[in-house]
Amino acid sequence: MLLLGAHPATQAGLAIALNSADGTVSLIDTDSYQVTGKVNVCKEPHHLMPTPDDKSLVVACAAANQLVFFDPLTGQEQKRVRNISDPYQLGYSPNRKWFVATSLRLDRVDIYDPTDFSLIARLPAPKTPSHLAFDDASQFVFVTLQDSNEVMAISLPTQKIAWVMPVATTPAGIVMSPDNRYLLVASMGEGVVEVIEWRSRQSIRKVPTGKAAHNLQPKGDGRHFYVSNRTVDGSISLLDTQTMTVVEQYEVPGGPDDMTVRADGKELWATARFARKVQVVDLVNKRLKLSIPVGSSPHGVFFLNHAGLR
Amino acid sequence: MINALIEAFVQLQGWLLDRVVQPPLLVLGLGSYIEMAFDGVELFLCGVLQISAAYLLLRPLEALRPIEVWPDRKPVRVDVTYSLLDRLGIIPLLVFAVLAPLFGSIDSWLRLNDIIPPQLEDLFPALETKPLASFLIYLALLDFAEYWRHRLSHSFRWWWALHAIHHSQRQMTLWTDSRNHVLDDLIGGFWFATVALLIGVPPGHFVGLLIAVKTIENLSHVNARLSFGRIGELLLVSPRYHRWHHALHLPTGEQYRHGCNFAVLFPLWDQLFGTQYRGRAMPPCGLADGPLPADAARSGFWRQQWEGLGALLAACRPAAAEATQPGGSTASDLRQEKPHAR
């Protein structure tokens, strides 16, 4: 994941949530929690991520074969990059030299030049490449393979598959630990976060978090990660990466999926994939604060006033 | 009110996923199918709503303005079975399970060879942000493809052997539109998936497109004296218009040698390609003769499937091909002479 500092608080904040099944993004006022607009984007957008400078929000339009860039301050579309084949999950390498997109549906990982989005390499990645993470030195991108229960490491300098190792069933979210030592892999099948010492390719521990553990989001303190457990009853766990234990648990119904943490650490926003809502969790009082109705199958939420991404 | 209904729908969808669908998927190591299963549950619920609405609206119409009254409605029951299997997602799931890996592999191979299948939006980028216009254009394109699939299913002897099951019903009702051989459904799915791959049907449109097509198909098979008038029948397929497609005795004319009124939604295609027949009467339905046994109209689901396979094999035999050339059955009473050439 890319190292980004906490952004200074903005006044009238804008949150952008993308709705995969609707092909839209919902614009939400972060102060009033009201939806202020809905914008048509493309066919089947999956996942969003900010550019390294936070000046754009990139939406991966899987079925439309393109990337759509939004201004995260206004919600206005900035540009479209076409001929990006079936992008699902995205990532800029920490050194900003590589832009990687997984194609979950077509078993493939693409590596692009982020300056002009020209294709550098296209690698077969059976089966069902889902989320991705980088090491700090940008030597590798690590990809979870959901249906073959593996993690694949791709060497970025050579654009070759370096290794593949078995992990707990149906791996989805993957992040690098703040000390660059461990990969943390959320396993939907086992409801755990698996800790992997990636240099030796050893599975160190499996930390139970909740049924259908799906995604991880940094708290921004360089130590903790939130883990979404994506069931309809749903929950979000707080994982301490120093002790590798769950230290807090929040009930968040509706299939919590992607998350963003506010810069002051008081709120966590999560897309409830199965409830057409964005759930706002009050991290001070440790409870679900409110639900914001959005579109169908929300699959990503972002605001500029976010905590650091490590 | 609408928001409350949507909320109730979403709650039920989530409950079904969480309590019924997701647990076995996780146990079987199929967790990556959960999102797809969520869409499948939506399709199932939409199917329940669609078929309930069709029954509540169209069944009273059949009772009030029937074209035919039957003392024994037993032959209708098998069509109800077909409808439930179709609308509740059993047949679509089967078709999906067979075709999804195939089309996924084809698409994946294309991308690995730097071929991105073109889409409608590549020609008309404005459609990307105009969902209603996009929906209507995709609906028209798919209906055009369906016209040709339907017409070809009457033209090839082997395909007609399967499709004849649909036409064997003499008591045509709102339930009849799903009465198909499973292989015919599979071919239909293959056809649809190919077109979808070529033009890039948006996933968000999928449920809406299916509901639109199925609703009109329920209506067009209804046993009720209903037409949309001379003008209306130029715009949308009506029960009277489609009844001529199922007529026991087809209209006379070379252009009707394989049948008439093949359109599913828009009669425009029949008009453009010369297969339209604008009869005023409400003719009796069924097959006077054909590839199936004479009592096929009254047999049950499994027997019909078996008989369809038998008819398919018979149609594929060289001797059968020589004996019954496709085409030529235009007048109402000629089907006995060339039974495979509707």
Tokens representing residue A21 in the block: 């099944």
What's the pLDDT score for residue B155? 94
Q: What is the pLDDT of residues B41-57, one digit of tens each?
A: 988 998 899 899 999 99
Q: Is 80 exceeded by the pLDDT of residue B340? A: no
Which of B236, B256, B235 shows the shortest CA–CA distance to B247?
B256
Residues of chain B contacting A122 with CB distance shorter than 8 Å: 111-112, 114
B101 in reach of chain A (CB within 8 A): no
Q: Which of A40, A63, A169 sits opposite B29 (nearest CB)?
A: A169
CA distance A170 to B32: 6
Q: Is 90 exceeded by the pLDDT of residue A66? A: yes
Comparing A156-165, B292-301, B307-316, which segment has the lowest mean pLDDT? B292-301
Residues of chain B contacting A188 with CB distance shorter than 8 Å: 26, 31-32, 34
Q: What is the pLDDT of residues A219-274, one digit of tens each?
A: 999 999 999 999 888 999 999 999 999 999 999 999 999 999 999 999 999 999 99
Q: Is 70 exceeded by the pLDDT of residue B259? A: yes
- For chain A, give the longest Cα–Cα distance: 49
The band of A8, judged by pLDDT with boundaries at 50, 70 and 90, is very low
- Are A307 and A261 spatial neighbours (Cβ–Cβ below 8 Å)? yes
Comparing A123-127, A137-141, B6-10, B146-150, which segment has the lowest mean pLDDT? B6-10
What's the pLDDT score for residue B322? 53
Which of B15, B85, B302, B307 shows the shortest CA–CA distance to A254?
B15
B249 C-beta neighbours (distance < 10 Å), count: 14
Residue written as tokens 């939420």? A301
Which of B265, B304, B29 shows the shortest CA–CA distance to B161?
B304
Q: Is 90 exceeded by the pLDDT of residue A6? A: no
Out of B32-46, B106-120, B243-257, give the one with best mean pLDDT.
B243-257
Residues of chain A contacting B108 with CB distance shorter than 8 Å: 106-108
Please indicate whether residue A80 or residue B317 has the higher confidence score (pLDDT): A80
Comparing A2-11, B70-79, B99-108, B275-284, which segment has the lowest mean pLDDT? A2-11
What's the pLDDT score for residue A294? 95
The band of B326, judged by pLDDT with boundaries at 50, 70 and 90, is very low
- Are A150 and A167 spatial neighbours (Cβ–Cβ below 8 Å)? yes
Q: Is 90 exceeded by the pLDDT of residue A207? A: yes
Q: What is the pLDDT of residues A79-138, one digit of tens each?
A: 999 999 999 999 999 999 999 999 998 899 999 999 999 999 999 998 899 999 999 999
The band of A44, judged by pLDDT with boundaries at 50, 70 and 90, is confident
A127 cis-preceded (ω within 30 degrees of 0): yes
Put simply, the answer to whether A232 touches B14 (Cβ < 8 Å) is yes
Q: Which of B14, B114, B121 sits opposite A64 (nearest CB)?
A: B121
Which residues contact residue B286 at a Cβ distance below 8 angstroms, ignoring those fewer than 6 apart? B167, B168, B169, B170, B172, B246, B248, B297
In angstroms, the separation between the Cα of residue B168 and the nearest Cα of chain A is 39
Put simply, the answer to whether B204 touches A44 (Cβ < 8 Å) is yes
In angstroms, the separation between the Cα of residue A223 and the nearest Cα of chain B is 29
In angstroms, the separation between the Cα of residue A201 and the nearest Cα of chain B is 23
Q: What's the mean per-residue pLDDT of chain A?
A: 92
Which domains, from first to last, does chain A contain? 14-303 (2.130.10.10)
CA distance B108 to B46: 30
Put simply, the answer to whether B200 touches A276 (Cβ < 8 Å) is no
In angstroms, the separation between the Cα of residue B105 and the nearest Cα of chain A is 7
The band of A4, judged by pLDDT with boundaries at 50, 70 and 90, is very low
Average pLDDT over residues A25-52: 93
Please indicate whether residue B278 or residue B121 has the higher confidence score (pLDDT): B278
What's the pLDDT score for residue B320? 59
Q: What is the pLDDT of residues B211-230, one digit of tens each?
A: 888 899 999 999 999 989 88
B25 in reach of chain A (CB within 8 A): no
Put simply, the answer to whether B104 touches A106 (Cβ < 8 Å) is yes
Average pLDDT over residues B240-269: 93
Give me the count of residues in chain B: 342
The band of B319, judged by pLDDT with boundaries at 50, 70 and 90, is low
Please indicate whether residue B95 or residue A181 has the higher confidence score (pLDDT): A181
Put simply, the answer to whether A231 touches B39 (Cβ < 8 Å) is no
Give me the count of residues in chain A: 310
Q: Which of B15, B112, B130 sits opposite A108 (nearest CB)?
A: B112
Q: Is 90 exceeded by the pLDDT of residue A187? A: yes
Average pLDDT over residues B231-235: 92
Residues of chain B contacting A170 with CB distance shorter than 8 Å: 26, 29-32
Q: Which of A21, A147, A172 sits opposite B204 (nearest CB)?
A: A21
Residue written as tokens 């999906």? B96
Q: Is 60 exceeded by the pLDDT of residue A174? A: yes
pTM (two decimals): 0.83
Q: What does the DSSP 8-state code read for residue A298?
A: E
Put simply, the answer to whether A21 touches B203 (Cβ < 8 Å) is yes
In angstroms, the separation between the Cα of residue A44 and the nearest Cα of chain B is 7
CA distance A16 to B176: 46
Q: What is the pLDDT of residues B107-129, one digit of tens each?
A: 888 888 888 888 888 888 888 88
Q: Is 70 exceeded by the pLDDT of residue B338? A: no
The band of B203, judged by pLDDT with boundaries at 50, 70 and 90, is low
**ipTM exceeds 0.95, yes or no:** no
What's the pLDDT score for residue A12? 57
CA distance B193 to B204: 15
